[in-house]
Chain A
Amino acid sequence: MSEAKKYPAPVTNPETAAFWDAAKQGKFMIKRCTACGEAHYFPRAICPFCYSDKTVWEESSGEGTIYTYSLMRKSPTGPYAIGYVTLKEGPSLQTNFVDCDLTTLKIGQKVKVVFKPTDGAPLPFFTAA
């Protein structure tokens, strides 16, 4: 896999701009609802669980475990591993695993967030912790 793989820049919108602004500072943000207490990802203005609009930004530890993964053996840009990570804070999210041995990934493995540059805001990925 090429380290120079080019990722698309996020389009961003008013609802998610704060996430991408924080990403530029190397911070990985999630949203938490102050009405029901639940954290969610990707971020929404309205809590998807209780429909309260009292959602606030919270910096995630960026630490989590692999819920599942699949190693795509071929693609125009080489093999890549897609998967879901369950964050310490609770929510699970889709990602790619990078900068580690993709052939030894395991469900339950500890991983941490790492940002990759784009022409716009950087994108979050996960790597072996």
Chain B
Amino acid sequence: MTIKGKAYIAGIFEHPTRHAPDKSTAQLHAEVAKGALEDAGISKDDVDGYFCAGDAPGGAWPMVDYLGLNTRKLRHVDSTETGGCSYIIHLGHAAEAIAAGKCSIALITLAGKPRTGVMPPRAAGAEADFESAYGATTHNAYGMCAMRHMHDYGTTSEQLAWIKVAASHHAQYNPHAMLKDVVTVEDVLNSPMISDPLHRMDCCVVSDGGGALIVTTPEIARSLKKPLVKLIGHGEAMKGPRGGKDLDLTYSAGIWSGPRAFEEAGITPKDIKYASIYDSFTITVLMQLEDLGFCKKGEGGKFVADGNLISGVGKLPFNTDGGGLCSNHPVNRGGMTKILEAVRQLRGEAHPKVQVKNCDLAIAHGTGGLLGVRHAASTAILERV
């Protein structure tokens, strides 16, 4: 059984806010749900599947109640929590549920306020006594990956900087982007060192905000007015230190989620016209591009250099909204916004300056957790119909 072509993304919404001191987290969830339903042209009373992750206050049942979803109709719920890639996993799970007839209109929401509110703490795992005192943060966990990648493959800070440069070229056209200034490789290298070898400009922004998706059946999608975008491949995977055996921080779980998605879609990375790649840090993008097969392992540095990720310039336009590096990173989770920009590209709704011509195949890929410690990855391949 496959989910290929069995689910369509019929509604999308990205909250325009990046700073929301005057709103509650639940309110942001409601605003993005409303936005995605309006985009699709669907009533909330017809939603029969709801998906949310750890950012949803209280989890699924308080959110279903708060959002006023139709509980006589709602028959499928999924609160899979895999950090930033949760929403890409939700997309795949929604397609599975739709293919199995367990729901027909799924709502997926993400929202939160890391800039202006309190972030819920992550629950401790079995490793807590053996790791928590060492202060692993996003910066240094990804820094450890970059350090080893540089050691093994000769990757340079200049090459990593090109990823930020490309994102900034795209962000200049996004009126909502937090950082709209185009930057140079030198700007990145001259920004303060945060956690070796990552500079401040290798890091994504911290923003309030959110986003939502409506996923539905081919039949319902065809009855609506939006351009048709379908999911044709999906993969998910996890990776950790595995008892300390054969530790290798130069690859991610994307090395497994990517091929699963491409195999289901029946295409290869060469067919992809646009790539949304979670950019928590520049090294995240470089490693994912290798793991997904856009270039060989160890050649990511060469691949991203010289503007290869800039729309209209390079071979693989990426994160044309400016991504997490420049536009936004709602709730410190980049998976949702990756899907949103991929759908915009496939619909032809990206900014004209960054819209990829004849964009018929796109990938949205993300990781969750800490790449240098334990993490999940999920890959979605989308096609314009």
Tier of interface size on chain B: 35 or more
A63–B324 Cα distance when bound, in Å, is 40
**CB nearest to A124 among chain B residues:** B130
CB pair A72–B140 under 8 Å, yes or no, is yes
CB pair A42–B130 under 8 Å, yes or no, is yes
Q: Is B137 an interface residue (CB 8 A)?
A: yes
Q: Is A94 an interface residue (CB 8 A)?
A: yes
CB pair B133–A123 under 8 Å, yes or no, is yes
The interface-forming segment of B2-10, B62-70, B192-200, B375-383 is B192-200
Partner of B241, one of A38, A69, A72, A92: A92
Q: Mark B219-263, 1 if CB is under 8 A from A, else 0.
A: 000000000000000000000011111010100000000000000
Partner of A71, one of B131, B132, B134, B195: B195
**CB nearest to A125 among chain B residues:** B134
Residues of A within 8 A of B194 (CB): 72-74
**CB nearest to A103 among chain B residues:** B196
Partner of A41, one of B151, B198, B243, B373: B243
A74–B249 Cα distance when bound, in Å, is 23
Residues of A within 8 A of B196 (CB): 69-71, 73
A7–B135 Cα distance when bound, in Å, is 10
**CB nearest to B131 among chain A residues:** A94
CB pair B249–A68 under 8 Å, yes or no, is yes
Q: Is B139 an interface residue (CB 8 A)?
A: yes
Q: Mark B184-216, 1 if CB is under 8 A from A, else 0.
A: 000000001111111000000000000000000
Q: Is A44 an interface residue (CB 8 A)?
A: yes
Interface residues of A in 76-102 (CB under 8 A from B): 80, 82-84, 86-87, 90-96
CB pair A16–B244 under 8 Å, yes or no, is no
The interface-forming segment of B100-108, B142-150, B332-340 is B142-150
CB pair B243–A49 under 8 Å, yes or no, is yes
**CB nearest to B142 among chain A residues:** A70
Total cross-chain contacts (CB, 8 A): 113
Residues of A within 8 A of B1 (CB): none
Q: Mark B358-385, 1 if CB is under 8 A from A, else 0.
A: 0000000000000011000000000000
Q: Mark A42-64, 1 if CB is under 8 A from B, else 0.
A: 10100011000000000000000
Q: Is B136 an interface residue (CB 8 A)?
A: yes
Q: Is B127 an interface residue (CB 8 A)?
A: yes
Residues of A within 8 A of B244 (CB): 40-42, 86-87, 90-93
CB pair B136–A40 under 8 Å, yes or no, is no
**CB nearest to B124 among chain A residues:** A11
**CB nearest to B139 among chain A residues:** A72
Partner of A94, one of B134, B146, B193: B134
CB pair A84–B135 under 8 Å, yes or no, is no
A8–B131 Cα distance when bound, in Å, is 11
A91–B245 Cα distance when bound, in Å, is 5
A7–B136 Cα distance when bound, in Å, is 14
A11–B125 Cα distance when bound, in Å, is 12
**CB nearest to B129 among chain A residues:** A10
Considering residues B130, B143, B148, which has the most beta carbons from chain A within 10 angstroms of its beta carbon? B130
CB pair B128–A11 under 8 Å, yes or no, is yes
CB pair B243–A84 under 8 Å, yes or no, is no
Q: Is A129 an interface residue (CB 8 A)?
A: no
Residues of B within 8 A of A75 (CB): 135
Residues of A within 8 A of B140 (CB): 70, 72, 82
Known contacts A75-B135, A82-B144; A44/B129 CB under 8 A: no
A118–B129 Cα distance when bound, in Å, is 12
Q: Is A12 an interface residue (CB 8 A)?
A: yes
On B, residues with C-beta under 8 Å from A are: 126-137, 139-141, 143-148, 151, 192-198, 241-245, 247, 249, 372-373
9 contacts between A and B (CB under 8 A): A20-B129, A41-B243, A42-B126, A42-B129, A72-B135, A83-B144, A92-B247, A94-B241, A94-B373
